[in-house]
């Protein structure tokens, strides 16, 4: 099941807002459709946002009428900035858009640039599948057959090209005939854990138990949870990690129960330009996400604080699992080394 797909005239996305009730694909025909789909969480999850935005920029560029390269670059920059304004926290969005911009910096003609953008966007998606599989392999090396592992939000196949990041070990364990039990926190307010992770893992035949977010401590104790694994939206240079709201609380609980707390993410989620978690912009979303469930009001019309993400301080993170391997502690020194080959 692909969350995002390029077709020459449009992009299709799996509508993640309709899940689990309906498996529905939407056609995005122009840049406004792409922006809306990202803002309204029809496509969500850091790598999937990046892939969709990349395809969105390639699609927009395809429609430019100019043959003048300078004019082409001006229009491209305008559309890059528009897509970049959709969501602030997941750095994969900016990473993917900037990768596309760089890919055409030396283009000799408008036609060449248009083709290059499509090619680069496709490469991002193809690479992400391989990256997620590697993350899954590394993550799996940390777990034993029969382990009970807690997660939050959806860092799964539908949030990436395939496999996911934090959910990759569950998918790979299934492929290899090993049993990992997933404990999925429902993830209020938007319920990515209940609607998406519970759906994705059960579809894949992975054993998954759903809990509400406030059941995490009791579940860790009663069910002997052996580890927590989460995805990430942005990892700062010192290892501080922004991920779905509720992640920070799980990290504190993991420390209290002396169980490991892992972050699984691709290099495209590591932002060495952002020094610490305090520098990560945290998206605040509409109050209706908190006051309503499924369109039904559950609270009076009072003030609401609705941060979509929180930042887990690096000292609470046992290890960061990337496609290049796992790093344990001293992130400020070790994170830059992951990029050395790329910059060589
Ligand atoms: O608001 P969302 O649903 O886009 O938030 C998603 C998350 O926080 C994920 O854990 C993260 O993007 C990693 S997805 C592989």
Sort strands 292-293 and 270-271 into parallel, antiparallel or unpaired: unpaired
Return the best residue to mutate from 231, 284, 323 for the ligand 1 pocket (most ligand atoms within 8 A of CB).
Answer: 231
Q: Which protein residue has the closest C-alpha to ligand 1 atom 8?
A: 244
Taking the model in full, what pTM does it have?
Answer: 0.97
| 9, two tokens | 């005239």
Query: Which 3 state secondary structure label does DSSP give 160?
Result: coil
What was the pLDDT predicted at 1?
75
What was the pLDDT predicted at 342?
53
What was the pLDDT predicted at 343?
44
Return the best residue to mutate from 154, 200, 263, 265 for the ligand 1 pocket (most ligand atoms within 8 A of CB).
Answer: 154
Cis previous bond, 266, omega within 30 = no
Per-residue pLDDT 10s for the chain (344 aa) are 799 999 999 999 999 999 999 999 999 999 999 999 999 999 999 999 999 999 999 999 999 999 999 999 999 999 999 999 999 999 999 999 999 999 999 999 999 999 999 999 999 999 999 999 999 999 999 999 999 999 999 999 999 999 999 999 999 999 999 999 999 999 999 999 999 999 999 999 999 999 999 999 999 999 999 999 999 999 999 999 999 999 999 999 999 999 999 999 999 999 999 999 999 999 999 999 999 998 999 999 999 999 999 999 999 999 999 999 999 999 999 999 999 965 44
Query: Which 3 state secondary structure label does DSSP give 297?
Result: strand
Q: Which residue has the tokens 């990473």?
A: 95
Burial class (CB in 10 A: 0-12, 13-18, 19+), 338: middle
Distance 111 CA to ligand 1 centre (A): 35
What was the pLDDT predicted at 66?
98
CA distance 301 to 310: 24
Residue 146 has, within 13 A of its CA and on its CB side, a CA count of 1
Return the best residue to mutate from 16, 43, 46 for the ligand 1 pocket (most ligand atoms within 8 A of CB).
Answer: 46
Total Cβ atoms within 10 A of residue 299: 11
Distance 51 CA to ligand 1 centre (A): 14
Active-site positions read 233
Residue 192 among known ligand-binding residues: yes
As for ligand 1, residues whose beta carbon falls within 6 Å of it are: 44-47, 90, 153, 155, 159-160, 164-165, 192, 231-233, 243-244, 308
**Contact of 228 with 251, CB cutoff 8 Å:** yes
Nearest-atom index, ligand 1, CA of 92: 12
69 Cβ contact list (under 8 Å, min separation 6): 107, 109, 110, 113
Distance 262 CA to ligand 1 centre (A): 15
Residue 111 among known ligand-binding residues: no
Distance 232 CA to ligand 1 centre (A): 7
Distance 46 CA to ligand 1 centre (A): 5
The interface pTM score, or ipTM, of the predicted complex is 0.99
């Amino acid at each position: 099941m692909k969350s995002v797909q390029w077709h020459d005239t449009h992009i299709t996305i799996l509508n993640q807002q309709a899940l689990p009730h309906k498996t529905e694909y939407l056609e995005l025909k122009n840049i406004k459709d792409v922006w809306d789909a990202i803002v309204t969480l029809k496509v969500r999850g850091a790598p999937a946002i990046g892939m969709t935005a990349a395809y969105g920029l390639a699609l927009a560029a395809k429609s430019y009428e100019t043959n003048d390269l300078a004019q082409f670059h001006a229009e491209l920059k305008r559309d890059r900035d528009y897509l970049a304004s959709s969501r602030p926290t997941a750095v994969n969005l900016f990473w993917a858009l900037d990768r596309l911009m760089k890919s055409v910096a030396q283009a000799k003609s408008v036609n060449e640039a248009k083709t290059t953008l499509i090619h680069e966007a496709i490469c991002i998606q193809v690479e992400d599948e391989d990256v997620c599989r590697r993350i899954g392999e590394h993550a799996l090396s940390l777990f034993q057959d029969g382990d009970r592992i807690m997660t939050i939000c959806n860092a799964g196949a539908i949030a990436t090209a395939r496999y996911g990041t934090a959910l990759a070990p569950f998918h790979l364990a299934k492929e290899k005939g090993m049993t990992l039990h997933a404990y999925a926190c429902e993830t209020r307010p938007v319920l990515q854990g209940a609607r998406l992770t519970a759906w994705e893992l059960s579809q894949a035949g992975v054993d998954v138990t759903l809990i509400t977010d406030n059941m995490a401590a009791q579940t860790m104790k009663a069910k002997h949870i052996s580890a927590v694994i989460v995805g990430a939206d942005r990892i700062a240079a010192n290892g501080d990690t922004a991920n779905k709201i509720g992640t920070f609380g799980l990290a504190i609980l993991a420390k209290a129960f002396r169980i490991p707390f892992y972050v699984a993410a691709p290099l495209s989620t590591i932002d060495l330009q952002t020094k610490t978690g305090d520098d990560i912009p945290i998206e605040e979303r509409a109050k209706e996400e908190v006051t309503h469930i499924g369109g039904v009001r559950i609270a009076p019309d009072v003030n609401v604080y609705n941060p979509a993400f929180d930042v887990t301080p690096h000292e609470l993170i046992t290890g960061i699992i990337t496609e290049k391997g796992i790093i344990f502690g001293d992130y400020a020194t070790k994170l830059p080394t992951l990029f050395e080959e790329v910059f060589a």
